[in-house]
Amino acid sequence: MMTESIERPTSEPLLQPVGLRGVAADLSSDQRAFKNVSWGKAMMWIFLLSDTFIFGCFLLAYMTARMSTIVAWPNPSEVFALTIGGKEIPLILIAIMTFILISSSGTMAMAVNFGYRRDRRKTAALMLATAVLGATFVGMQAFEWTKLIREGVRPWENPWGAAQFGSSFFMITGFHGTHVSIGVLFLLIMARKVWRGDFDQERRGFFTSRKGSYEIVEITGLYWHFVDLVWVFIFAFFYLW
């Protein structure tokens, strides 16, 4: 008895999307990519990404204004110099501000470390130290603003040359200083919650995890490290260039 072989039509190969659609398809098909990421972390990363675009636009606008103006641009070493002991020291205040802000990034990293160890006293103390360093930075920035305003710098004029210098300075440093001030306020709120034991007792309230975890400390650290990183770029492009 002979049997006839039935040939089945071969299926056509599936076309894989390319480019950005391919990246989106890969991420959406991966069941582990975002499975263990909390909403708090995901939303903070999205916020930081959008904020990166804003700061990037500000710095690009500053570089465009500086390279396109025909009026002499002020020398940052002279503008931001301080007279100490009868001698002018260039960028001394800015160097101290940078050192303070970078140091605060270290205390914040240690706070996150002790937070996941559930050592609330050390976590709260380090977060408070970070807030003090951040407040010191803002205070020194206010002193810098006051000094330049007294010397005649305005958003629309500048006694040392190009008028765009004043508008760029107040816009970029003011926007960054606002971020630092918000971060200091948030650090103080979180330090108080950690010290009271809200995360150990699973106490309900604003910015308090229902699961009793210290994840909010890490989320706060993400924001603070971003603020510190942005200042490095501002320091390089605005004060050293």
Share of the chain above pLDDT 70, in %: 81
66 CA to centre of own chain: 24
Decide if pLDDT at 4 tops 80: no
Q: Assign domain 39-239 one CATH number from 3.20.20.210, 3.40.50.300, 1.20.120.80, 3.30.70.980.
A: 1.20.120.80
- For residue 161, give the nearest of 64, 226, 39, 65 by alpha carbon: 65
Q: What's residue 1's pLDDT? A: 45
Q: What's residue 6's pLDDT? A: 45
Decide if pLDDT at 2 tops 70: no
**Mean pLDDT, rounded, of the chain:** 84
- For residue 217, give the nearest of 148, 122, 137 by alpha carbon: 122
pLDDT tens track for 128-174? 999 999 999 999 999 999 999 998 888 888 888 888 898 999 999 99
Per DSSP, helices labelled H in 31-119 are: 39-68, 76-79, 92-116
Residue 20: enclosing H or E segment and its boundaries? helix 19-29
pLDDT tens track for 35-54? 666 778 888 999 999 999 99
Tell me which residue has tokens 């490095």. Answer: 232
Strand partners, 157: 154
Tell me which residue has tokens 């959008």. Answer: 50
- For residue 130, give the nearest of 202, 191, 60 by alpha carbon: 191
Decide if pLDDT at 229 tops 90: yes
What phi and psi values does residue 89 have, to the nearest 5 degrees? -110, 115
pTM here is: 0.81
Look at 162 and 14; give whichever has higher pLDDT.
162
State the burial class of residue 175 (Cβ atoms within 10 Å of its Cβ: 0-12, 13-18, 19+).
Answer: middle
* Cβ atoms 126, 114 nearer than 8 A: yes
Tokens standing for residue 187: 């650090």
* Cβ atoms 217, 111 nearer than 8 A: yes
- pLDDT band with cut points at 50, 70 and 90 for residue 110: very high
